[in-house]
Amino acid sequence: MELFITELGLLYLAKWLHFLFGVTWIGLLYYFNLVQGEYFKEADGGARVDVFSKLVPLALWYFRWAAMGTFITGVIMLAILGVSATYDVVIGATMGTLMFLNVWLIIWPNQKIVIASNQQVGGGGEALPEAAAAAPKAGLASRTNTLFSVPMLFFMGSGAHLMGAIAIGAAEMLSLVVALVIIAAIEVNAIVGKQGPMTSVRGLITSSFVLTVILWGVTRLL
């Protein structure tokens, strides 16, 4: 019963669910960006229409609700931790929150348009004109979430398990602000920018690890 009535038990329960939802969410994120996207480059038009009409809606259902579950359990964990949340957790949680917002405010609304367009084509109709603009918007936000995922996971893990995880104090505010500005700039690009080096899978993966190193360096050296 201590699992449900003690603070430690509730924290563990929230962590367990956070991991479960998070694995589902990030796993599908990698599927979309590293597998499905590469398949679409080689698939013919009929195959693309079929996948978008039947497979993608189901995958996106699990994707967006796993994101919701990850976010809610993360908020519960932060509420329990309170002031004991470390610098690393704040950085990771910021990226995780932006990723969640990208899913629900950019990726899913635009993917609904793309799905509807493909279903209309599959039924013998014409593609929706707005689908041409919706697909790149969803793609850029999804690429950005993949870019964020590696440093987000690094900092969420380091906050709890890496020796030397930093508590937030006055001396850390400069580096925290710099790190948050970098993250904010990338998020602005996710809304109004371009994929740039994230266009290719190799560039996306490389950029994600480079961002991890940059953010870690900012938090430890400034």
47-103: per-residue pLDDT in tens? 999 999 999 999 999 999 999 999 999 999 988 877 666 788 889 999 999 999 999
Residue 186, class by beta-carbon neighbours within 10 Å (0-12 exposed, 13-18 middle, 19+ buried)? middle
- Any long-range contacts for 44-50 (C-beta under 8 Å, 24+ apart)? 48/118, 49/118, 49/121, 49/122, 50/122
Helix and strand numbers, DSSP H then E, in the chain: 10, 0
Residue 171 has a pLDDT of 59
**Are the beta carbons of 56 and 115 closer than 8 angstroms?**
yes
Q: Which residues lie closer than 8 Å to 32 by C-beta, 6 or more apart?
A: 59, 63, 142
Question: Among 79-83, 123-127, 137-141, which is the least confidently predicted range?
Answer: 79-83
Q: Look at residue 5 and tell me whether its pLDDT is greater than 80.
A: no
Phi, psi dihedral angles at 195 (to 5 degrees): -70, -35
Q: Look at residue 4 and tell me whether its pLDDT is greater than 80.
A: no
Residue 121 has a pLDDT of 93
CA 183, 212, 150, 56 torsion-angle sign: positive
| Amino acid code (one letter) for 166 | I
Alpha-carbon gap, residue 154 to 160, rounded angstroms: 10
**Are the beta carbons of 179 and 170 closer than 8 angstroms?**
no
Mean pLDDT of the chain: 91
Q: In which band, very low, low, confident or very high, does the pLDDT at 45 lie, cut at 50, 70 and 90?
A: confident
Q: In which band, very low, low, confident or very high, does the pLDDT at 109 lie, cut at 50, 70 and 90?
A: very high
How many domains does one find in the chain?
A: 1
E strands of the chain, at which residues?
Answer: none
Q: Look at residue 222 and tell me whether its pLDDT is greater than 80.
A: no
Range of the domain at 183: 2-221
Residue 10 has a pLDDT of 87
- Closest by CA to 140, choosing from 55, 199, 92, is 199
- Closest by CA to 103, choosing from 200, 24, 49, 15, is 24
Question: Among 10-19, 47-56, 158-167, which is the least confidently predicted range?
Answer: 158-167
| Amino acid code (one letter) for 37 | G
Residue 220 has a pLDDT of 81
